[in-house]
């Protein structure tokens, strides 16, 4: 059981930036933890789904649609938004 927990921690260390306790290095630890990569993906997916479920009622619907669509420069109808101008890497609002 302890070895399984160590392999899961190695998988989380490799696939995420979450702080996890350090464990002793073993040359084959990453290859042994590869079988748990889907478990890490499932935990991350469930966590983000839970976060969306909690935050959705508190966000403005227009803001939420922009976040879902990648905050592009199009309005909800798909037309280009002429109030946005992308200059180099920054987006400025033009009034």
Nearest to 13 by CA among 40, 43, 42, 47: 40
pTM, rounded to two decimals: 0.61
**Residue boundaries of the structural domains of the chain:** 2-93
CA distance 46 to 81: 34
If one compares 2 and 78, the residue with the highest pLDDT of the two is: 2
pLDDT tens for 48-58 read: 999 988 988 87
pLDDT tens for 56-79 read: 887 777 776 777 776 555 555 656
What is the percentage of the chain residues whose pLDDT exceeds 90?
45
Residues 6+ apart with CB under 8 A from 41: 15
């Amino acid at each position: 059981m302890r070895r399984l927990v160590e392999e899961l921690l190695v998988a989380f260390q490799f696939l995420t930036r979450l702080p996890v306790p350090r464990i002793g290095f073993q040359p084959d630890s990453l290859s042994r933890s590869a079988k748990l990569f889907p478990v890490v993906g499932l935990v991350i997916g469930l966590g983000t789904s839970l976060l969306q479920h909690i935050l959705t009622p508190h966000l403005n619907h227009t803001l939420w649609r922009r976040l879902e669509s990648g905050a592009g420069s199009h309005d909800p109808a798909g037309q280009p938004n002429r109030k946005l101008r992308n200059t180099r890497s920054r987006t400025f609002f033009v009034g």
